[in-house]
A and B are shown apart, each in its own frame.
Chain A
Amino acid sequence: MKILVAEDSTTVRGLVSARLSADGYDVVEAEDGEEAVALARSQAPDLIVLDKMMPKLDGFEVVRRLREDQATAEIPIIMLTDRTGEEDVLQGLDLGVEDYMPKPFSPLELSARIKRALQRAQDA
């Protein structure tokens, strides 16, 4: 299973990638919004872990573009974000985000949610 990790902080990206690799996933990394969209299209990951605040394109815009494109419209997206108010969550869910992980987050918990999301996607 391939997972795209889009996060601009090298530290956090490294930690998440390490955790996911240890769990047995293939990890592809993107460091900004544009790269995230490009890699999502070219690498066809099974799930995307997306940071909301990234340079070039913010997380919401990335989701918007991925949802507009047939090829990437169905990929489940888990968004990492500092903004966790009800309205922010609704905004993301409206756009098509599958799940939200508020920051600060636990990579172990993220891993569990990824498993669940992948399961759901497979069942669908």
Chain B
Amino acid sequence: MRQALEPTVLVMAGMVVVMLLAILVGRTVRDERRRRDLALRPGLEQAVGAYLVDERSEPPPPPGSRAARRVLLAIGIEGLTELRGEERARLTRLLEETGIITATAKQLHSRRRLTRRLAAQALAQIESPEAVDALVKGLSDRDLDVRAACALALAELGDPRHVHGLTRTIVEVAESRPGAVAEVLLAIGSTDPGSLALVLEATDSPRIRRLVTAVAGALRLMEYAPAIRHELSSDDGELAAAAAQAAGSVGDLLALDSLIVLARDKARPEHVRAAAATALGRLGDERAVPTLEALLCSDRWILQRVAAHALGTLGPRGEDVLRRTDSPHAVIALSR
């Protein structure tokens, strides 16, 4: 028994000592680093502030140490996240002049995946054309997250020349990183909306089409109304529902008929029909009233609720239907 206990106690005691040392050493190292960064920060912030405020001033010199570069990059990213307009552009210029962007772009070649990822995300925030070459190369990185982050960075830059590379990356990454792809599409939609069409042409994937549709709707890109209308008849329920929502957001009256068909289609899942009904409400066209009235009498609670809500926004004819019905949902809709 002793033979079993003694080594066990020794091993465990040893591990306790090792952990304690790890905690103490780790803390000391981190405290030291934090102290150093904290010492560097105010000076750099002041220099950045002074440069941004005075248009005629010279940018501060490139930081000497790696720590200073790191702090300056952090300051830069934080400023770029919160600022807009003239001063933001100046901040980007400052990062270029002090060599920060070049240094970050170089990190895209690092062997460590984490470094590459963080560098790509930093570049996505910075939006500087200087990093473009490195970013384009990053689209073929081994790591999916690096690719997605590089795609985001390029999308933020909004240069149509890169759309093909971006589209390829989107297609590659969409299944495993849908959130990141949504972000990239949102960026493309904001900086270079026309290119979303290229993405649609490049793939049949319902997931990607759904993301593009959602983005087009969220950004109210009227030029995509025909594409959205087309998706309303898709077999994929999620895609049809997303298209319905987008059609409502965009305010595409030409989609009225397709939406009516979708809402009436009993073969469709409930949430798809509900999305169509909601969109009909948002379009505000009284021709939708008969369809919504039919839904109000459906035996599905969600459809009743959504239909009542939509009818409430369809003028006197809609209100008339609500008054005539005895559905409990009508009361709420009328009170709004």
Contacts and interface: CB of A to CB of B under 8 A. Distances in A.
Contacts, number: 62
Main secondary structure of the interface of A (DSSP, over half): helix
A104 interface: yes
A10 B87 contact: no
Interface in A1-53: 9-12, 14-15, 17-19, 21-22
Given A9-B78, A22-B53, A22-B54, A14 B85 contact: no
Contact of B87 (A14, A15, A21): A15
A14 B49 contact: yes
Nearest to B84: A104
Contacts of B86: 106, 108
Contacts of A17: 49
Contacts of A103: 82
Contact of A12 (B54, B82, B85): B82
B78 A18 contact: no
B160 interface: no
Main secondary structure of the interface of B (DSSP, over half): helix
B122 to A, nearest CB: 15
Interface residues of B, number: 21
A106 B45 contact: no
12 contacts: A11-B78, A12-B79, A14-B42, A14-B45, A15-B45, A19-B87, A22-B54, A104-B84, A105-B82, A106-B84, A106-B85, A107-B52
Interface of A: 9-12, 14-15, 17-19, 21-22, 103-109
Given A12-B82, A15-B49, A105-B83, 17 more contacts: A10-B42, A10-B45, A11-B48, A11-B79, A12-B78, A14-B46, A15-B83, A15-B87, A18-B46, A18-B50, A18-B53, A19-B52, A22-B54, A104-B81, A106-B83, A106-B88, A107-B87
Interface of B: 41-42, 45-46, 48-50, 52-54, 75, 78-79, 81-88
